[in-house]
Amino acid sequence: MIIAVDGPTASGKGTIAKGLGRHFGLPVLDTGLLYRAVGLQTRVMGLDPDDPIDAARAASFPDSLLQEPDLRSVACGALASRVSVHKRVRAALLERQRQFAARPGGAVLDGRDIGTVIAPHADVKLFVTASIEARARRRHAESRDRGETLTLEQVMDDLAKRDERDRNRAEAPLLQAEDAFLIDNSDMSVSEALEHAISIVEKARQQKG
Ligand code: DC
């Protein structure tokens, strides 16, 4: 079974994807980390994240970079959003994601274009979202826990910019697939959102027989 989990930044899609992976015994790929690694690699190599050729060079980052704790920072998220607009970067990361989706037992992938581009044939597609206020509060708490000193306003501003860029880019924009189930978890706890997601997947699985 392939489960596609898409949604905007800090929507809780990563937590839901991990929870689904645990519940259904499936491996999980956080595809945002790949884009974050490309973003970080532009910084390591002194390249321009807004230049398509520079950004594509950074797409051949070493695998060890995926273990770098700084990948989770707000700054790497912003770099990821910038490099992800380039067609060459998306093409360079495509095969790796498709191979993961094609694992014999199935997989859970979370990102922006899983249900639309990477695995349009996924068995179940979820589109996870929450209000910008709820997402900013969560991201702000996470960044504080990491020792970053951003204000709530700065985090909200960064989210708004990333939403705008991710939704309006020409290549594989953030978009709810027509056959995706919408989960708005603005007023749900983490466990409520996960239970809801599990029940959607279970129902979809039964319907497919
Ligand atoms: O999910 P995230 O916040 O870690 O993603 C960081 C950025 O990477 C996001 O702003 C856009 C990009 N991204 C993408 O374009 N496609 C994906 N499948 C995953 C992430």
Spell out the per-residue pLDDT of the chain, length 209, in tens.
999 999 999 999 999 999 999 999 999 999 999 999 999 999 999 999 999 999 999 999 999 999 999 999 989 999 999 999 999 999 999 999 999 999 999 999 999 999 999 999 999 999 999 999 999 999 999 989 989 899 999 999 999 999 999 999 999 999 999 999 999 999 999 999 999 999 999 999 888 87
CA 147–ligand 1 middle distance (angstroms): 22
**Predicted pLDDT of residue 19:** 98
Residue whose CA is closest, atom 9 of ligand 1? 81
Ligand 1 atom 20, closest CA: 32
What local confidence, expressed as pLDDT, does residue 111 receive?
A: 97
Atom of ligand 1 nearest to the CA of 84: 15
Q: Give the pLDDT score at 208.
A: 80
- Output the DSSP codes for 115-158: IIII-TT-SEEEEEE--HHHHHHHHHHHHHHTT----HHHHHHH
Task: State the distance from the centre of ligand 1 to the C-alpha of 92, rounded, in angstroms.
Answer: 14
Write phi, then psi, for 127 (nearest 5 degrees).
-120, 110
**pTM of whole model > 0.85?**
yes
CB of residue 166 inside a 6 A radius of ligand 1: yes
Structural domain boundaries in the chain: 2-207
**SS3 call for 9:** coil
Q: What is the pLDDT of residue 46?
A: 98
Burial of 207 (0-12, 13-18, 19+ CB in 10 A): exposed
Q: Which atom of ligand 1 is nearest to the CA of 10?
A: 3
- Amino acid, single-letter form, for residue 153: E
- Which tokens hold the place of 175? 């978009």
Among protein residues, the one whose CA lies closest to atom 5 of ligand 1: 32
Predicted local distance difference test score (pLDDT) of residue 74 = 86
In angstroms, rounded to a whole number, what is the distance separating the alpha carbons of residues 62 and 179? 36
- Fold of the 2-207 domain: Rossmann fold (3.40.50)
Predicted pLDDT of residue 86: 97
Cα(177)–Cα(169) distance, integer angstroms: 16
How much is the pLDDT for 81? 94
Amino acid 73 reads: S
pLDDT number for residue 95: 95
